[in-house]
Amino acid sequence: MTTQAENAAGSDVCATVNYIRNRPDSDTHPLEFVTEVEEWSTMQTTPGREVQIRNARGIPTALDVEGFQLIPHASAVDDFDLIEADPSVDARYDTEMIELLTRVTGASRVVMLGGGKKRHGEGAVENLAPLTNAKPARYPHGDNTDESATALAELFDAIVDDLDLTDYSRYAIYNVWRCVTPPPQDIPLAVCDARSIKASDEVTVTAVTATSNVSEIRHDTTS
């Protein structure tokens, strides 16, 4: 863990990163990551590799160069524990993120895919015991492949009344992350410079997540 002074200086830190160690036998038998019971996963990520990670604060970044961008943004939400618990807070935050993405990307239309989600380290499990899928991922990943991104866009084309993908020449799917606790964080977010990987480095993994008890989980969380 670096100190605030070291962070301000933009120094590197050495950390263990758990890359995928086993490639699937064939395209018809992809690896699986089971979010609720990780020991059932067929994906192997340990032991990890020691890599140098640079503090990106203060370093100019751009979506079309590194593939990510750090944006200063002050939210009107004063209690992020209410995300996924208070519909009015969710609606307010969705509006903020739509306005932010519109400004940063220059998009002519922004649609939120599911609203805000909270991620917590194991130190917060006391009030999140049912939300096992609220844990941060412990390995580098991209949430979508070209195929899954296309399927997701087509889904929203079907369910959003005034959205027609044929009205647009292209679309993009972005993740927006925000730290909501003071530093230092026990599970800091790291991002990968898109220029440092190639298509052959990627391995497709199927995420298996239980959804049948979502309503029960949300009820327990909000009570």
User: What is residue 7's predicted lDDT score, i.e. its pLDDT?
Assistant: 44
pLDDT band at 210 (very low <50, low <70, confident <90, very high): low
Q: List the alpha helices (DSSP H) in 12-145.
A: 87-105
The DSSP bridge partners found for residue 31 are 205
Least confident of 43-47, 64-68, 121-125, 151-155: 121-125
Query: What stretch of H or E contains 205?
Result: strand 205-208
How far is the C-alpha of 111 from the C-alpha of 21, rounded, in Å?
35
Rounded to 5°, the CA angle 167-173-174 comes to 135
On the question of pLDDT at 223 being above 80, the answer is no
Q: Which among 46, 217, 25, 200 is positioned nearest to 129, based on CA atoms?
A: 217
On the question of pLDDT at 218 being above 60, the answer is no
Average pLDDT of the segment spanning 148-152: 91
Q: Would you call 220 helix, strand, or coil by DSSP?
A: helix
On the question of pLDDT at 221 being above 60, the answer is no
More confident residue, 127 or 17: 17
Question: 67: alpha, beta or left, given left = phi > 0 and alpha = psi -120 to 50?
Answer: left
Span 50-62, pLDDT tens digits? 999 998 888 899 9
